[in-house]
Structure 1
Amino acid sequence: MIAVPDFTDAPWRSRPGIAFLRGADVWDNHERSLRLARRVDTLRAQGLGANQAVLAPDSPGLDLLLMQLALARIGAALFPYRTGTAETEWRTLAGMTGAEWRWHPDSERLFPTGCGTARTGDAADAIALLIKTSGSSGSPKVAMLTADNLLASALAVNARLGLAPGDLWLTCLRLSHVGGISIGYRCALAGATLLLHEGFAAPAVMADLRARPVTHLSLVPPMLARLLDLDPTPPPHLRVLLVGGQATSRSLVQRALDAGWPIHLTYGMTETATQIATTERLTGTAPESGLVGRLLPGIQVAAPGCASRPARLRIYGAMVMAGYANPSRDPGQGLEDGWFETADLACLADDGQLKVLGRADDLRVIGGNNVSLARVEAVLHEAAGIREVVVVGLDDDIWGHRLVALYRGEIDESSLENWCVRRLSGPERPREFRRLARLPLLPSGKYDRLQLESIACQGLI
């Protein structure tokens, strides 16, 4: 285990906390400092300099956390990637980002990739983190985040969620995704403690929520559903349960609220160093679908009022990436005068909350009608006996598309079909219902929509 992120160089300032790793010994602050100093010396001795980039696998997670600290101290960029990535893929990643080095944890060696050249420049403007987008429904890109992006995000999130010295944040999100690796920066800044799980296993997470004084936890909706299935009783010390990464159904939120879990809904993306809007702790009745709270300080958006027709959300502010990666790591790609246009349709409610209405590309034309997959999923979540559901749109020669609902729950297919008759218009009603034992997930914990579409096409159960 490791004493967490101690960024001693400007602009980071931290008070030391301790990060735990299941099944390993605790690294106290002295031990962490020694290991960090050795890692920095090792990297520099092997030729790593400021403004260069290092590909590093996300397992073992403890080693990646140490690399996160060491590279921040050197002024180099971290590019975490999924352990087990094929050589052809990581070579492609190196080529598209100009990453100069690849780290081998077992041998503690840096190996040159043959890509990129030495760079110089202002450390504050240099790229600090290269991170793939989640790729849940298409080809991923790589966002370039600067030290200033990461600092602005950590400051705003910590203030909104009240993260402070003595707090304990359990992370079970993959460290090769922005939702996982960002927790290290937040804990570093706050002097909080990080409890590391290498991946999500509901029984193991629940055991630590019961046994340790965990105050903060980040989950995507499928993870929350599986924890509630295991044991709905709220953990005794938990103050903040941050739920995001994809749309969260009202029924799931209500289920957690009724049990007493401290839910905060959030919305953000890789390109904004995680969240840009987060609710206060929810109580009572779950909010209207799509409401994700007020904007964090420093964020501006271009979005119509909710009485108007929704439009693609555009975002500007200190958290917005420097641009999508390119071999020269030049800024600006994917931005227009600093503004980032998302694929999400959104509006601003009268009380200032951001409302996300689904992706612009989740619309399917059925019999001449625009149908939102997100809306159909939201309605299906209201059916009794539905635990999880994903709706996919398949091509249809006559109607343009036909919808297939793949779900987990107690209700049978014919009962769910009958339930939909009174609640969805004709074009919105799925033509097939498939009950599955489990909906497949990506390593990020989100639903694997490409695999679910394949299941729908092949008729597999």
Structure 2
Amino acid sequence: MSGTAVVRAADSERDQRRAAAALRDAGLRPGDRVLVSAASSPALLAVVLGALRTGVVPVLLDPALPAAERAALAEDADPGLDLHDDPASLLAGRDEAALADVPLARPMHYTSGTTGRRKGVWSGLLAEDDARALAAEEIDLWGFGPADRHLVLSQLHHSAPLRFAVHTLLAGGEVLLPGPFDAARAAAAISTLHPTTTFCVPTHLQRLVARADVDWSSFRRLVHAGAPCPEPLKRAVLAALPPGSVWEFYGSTEAQFTVCPPGEWLAHPGSVGRARPGRRLETDDRGQLWCALPPWARFEYWRAPEKTAAAWREDRVTVGDLGRVDDDGVVWLDGRREDLVISGGVNVYPAEVEAVLDAHPGVAESAVVGMPDAEWGQRVVAAYVGTADPAELAGWARERLAPAKRPKSLHPVQELPRTSTGKVRRLDLPAVLGLADPRRAGSGGGGHA
């Protein structure tokens, strides 16, 4: 298809060796950092892999960042080389350097910043055994091989899209880069280039499943994550794609926690599956999820020892998500601690309310936020995309939710505010709806209700 770059493993390997030589000649050594903020391209992939396979850590920033924010993150990352938006500059020479057969480090990404200041996620250099285990885990889990054609739908400065593309190339497959996401362009790429795998977020799925011109038959694995997938959308995707192909996982910029094959989800609708191999998930008395990670998956927050210490308990880590692990080891998410709404002393998890609203046939997706309330401390407010009448939707919620959990107001909107990774920015909802800032509400205490 015109406009889609096809990255072949052999061609990329040559460029990776050239990138590695250029980094060496620029004085970078294992453990040093190279900063790049560029759109997805074959050159970006070559620089990332050329760096990783020589122990240089690529730091990837969103090319759309405002100049002041980019400058602050660049100063924080303290790179040995800043490529800005020009990774291809490293590929101009003819010299080539030797590469390890697996990455010797993980890229450094900054958390997407749904709340608070972004944090750099740093793993440093990996021991050889850990490096091999990390690469094998990704390749084996998703079954990447030389016959794969991986379609990139999200920008490569995000951790999951980059991880899928990198390991496809390491396994000898091809990567398809159609450019910034556009539903028509993505549909054409799927139907004409016949990808076998892709990673996407529910927003992509929502826009693609609604189209009649997508031929999904080539997929052996479509993997989604990044935000909760409404149950009606998930069922529509399962019906549209080849049996067994729609997988899900729960993870974060920091680490990967669960995997959920389609049969697992159908047996436990709304869950995010079970712990990935080598991991164990449990909750504390606040309902916060903790995961024991293998050595190759561990990390720290860059130059933030106090944040690192708060996130870890021995070999277990939390990213602040709330949920539960049932007796069968199936993991269910309730949201994030900072999203929790406490109304009249009752803990209200936005994800639970959203699941009820999303089940209404006239709702495509919804988002819930807590607003200050003089009587109850906070009240539940919901925004939704869809055709449902607010009064009818309120009745639907009244039949299915306890009083404290029912939205006190329901607001139809054209779209929900999101981060670039597809996560709903709940803290932006009040401004979108013309309401007050929820951060002025007292967060208070209160036990689980």
Report the more deviating stretch, 449-458 or 160-169: 449-458
1:10-66: CA deviation from partner (whole Å, max 9, x where unpaired): xxxxxxxxxxx9626656666544433333333322322222101101315332112
- Which residue does 1:335 correspond to in 2? 312
- Which residue does 1:135 correspond to in 2? 113
Change beyond 3 A, Cα 1:362–1:42: same
Give the Cα–Cα distance (whole angstroms) in 2 for the partners of residues 201 and 451 of structure 1: 24
Q: Among the aligned pairs, what percent are the same residue? A: 27
For structure 2, the 5+ residue unaligned runs are 91-101, 437-449
Change beyond 3 A, Cα 1:363–1:446: closer
8 Å contact from structure 1 (residues 125, 147) kept in 2: no
Give the Cα–Cα distance (whole angstroms) in 2 for the partners of residues 156 and 101 of structure 1: 30
Change beyond 3 A, Cα 1:364–1:26: closer
Q: TM-score w.r.t. structure 2 length?
A: 0.83
Task: Using CA pairs under 8 Å that are at least 6 residues apart, name the structure with larger relative contact order, 1 or 2.
Answer: 1
- Which residue does 1:71 correspond to in 2? 51
Equivalent residue runs for 1:140-155 within 5 Å: 140-146=118-124, 148=126, 152-155=133-136
- Which residue does 2:184 correspond to in 1? 203
Change beyond 3 A, Cα 1:214–1:152: same
- Which residue does 1:42 correspond to in 2? 22
Equivalent residue runs for 1:284-363 within 5 Å: 285=266, 287-289=268-270, 291-303=271-283, 310-326=287-303, 334-363=311-340
Equivalent residue runs for 1:430-449 within 5 Å: 430-449=407-426
8 Å contact from structure 1 (residues 168, 214) kept in 2: yes
Report the more deviating stretch, 54-63 or 348-357: 348-357
How many pairs are equivalent?
Answer: 420
Give yes or no for the alignment of 1:176 onto 2:157.
yes
Report the CA distance between 1:82 and its aligned residue: 0.7
Give the Cα–Cα distance (whole angstroms) in 2 for the partners of residues 439 and 23 of structure 1: 29
1:113-159: CA deviation from partner (whole Å, max 9, x where unpaired): xxxxxxxxxxx997542111122344321101346477544422332
Give yes or no for the alignment of 1:59 onto 2:39.
yes
8 Å contact from structure 1 (residues 152, 319) kept in 2: yes
Give the Cα–Cα distance (whole angstroms) in 1 for the partners of residues 7 and 356 of structure 2: 48
SS at match of 1:427: helix
Give the Cα–Cα distance (whole angstroms) in 1 for the partners of residues 142 and 217 of structure 2: 18
- Which residue does 1:11 correspond to in 2? none
Give the Cα–Cα distance (whole angstroms) in 2 for the partners of residues 186 and 92 of structure 1: 30
For structure 1, the 5+ residue unaligned runs are 1-20, 111-123
Give the Cα–Cα distance (whole angstroms) in 2 for the partners of residues 410 and 44 of structure 1: 57
- Which residue does 1:418 correspond to in 2? 395
1:237-266: CA deviation from partner (whole Å, max 9, x where unpaired): 111111111222222212222334532121
8 Å contact from structure 1 (residues 292, 354) kept in 2: yes
- Which residue does 2:137 correspond to in 1? 156
Report the more deviating stretch, 350-359 or 50-59: 350-359
8 Å contact from structure 1 (residues 50, 76) kept in 2: yes
Report the CA distance between 1:299 and its aligned residue: 1.6
8 Å contact from structure 1 (residues 358, 374) kept in 2: yes
SS at match of 1:74: coil
Report the CA distance between 1:333 and its aligned residue: 7.7
Give the residue type in structure 1 aligned to 2:250: Y
Give the residue type in structure 1 aligned to 2:141: R
Report the more deviating stretch, 84-93 or 386-395: 84-93
Give the Cα–Cα distance (whole angstroms) in 1 for the partners of residues 87 and 169 of structure 2: 27
Change beyond 3 A, Cα 1:298–1:150: same
Report the more deviating stretch, 336-345 or 390-399: 336-345
8 Å contact from structure 1 (residues 143, 321) kept in 2: no
Give the Cα–Cα distance (whole angstroms) in 1 for the partners of residues 202 and 5 of structure 2: 31
Report the CA distance between 1:309 and its aligned residue: 8.1
Report the CA distance between 1:220 and its aligned residue: 1.3
Give yes or no for the alignment of 1:376 onto 2:376.
no
Q: TM-score w.r.t. structure 1 length?
A: 0.81
Give the Cα–Cα distance (whole angstroms) in 2 for the partners of residues 409 and 317 of structure 1: 43
Give the Cα–Cα distance (whole angstroms) in 1 for the partners of residues 182 and 103 of structure 2: 38
Give the Cα–Cα distance (whole angstroms) in 2 for the partners of residues 28 and 363 of structure 1: 45
Give the Cα–Cα distance (whole angstroms) in 2 for the partners of residues 96 and 194 of structure 1: 31
Bigger fraction of residues in helix:
2
Give the Cα–Cα distance (whole angstroms) in 2 for the partners of residues 90 and 68 of structure 1: 19
Pick aligned residue for 2:227 from 246, 263, 276: 246
Pick aligned residue for 1:450 from 423, 427, 432: 427
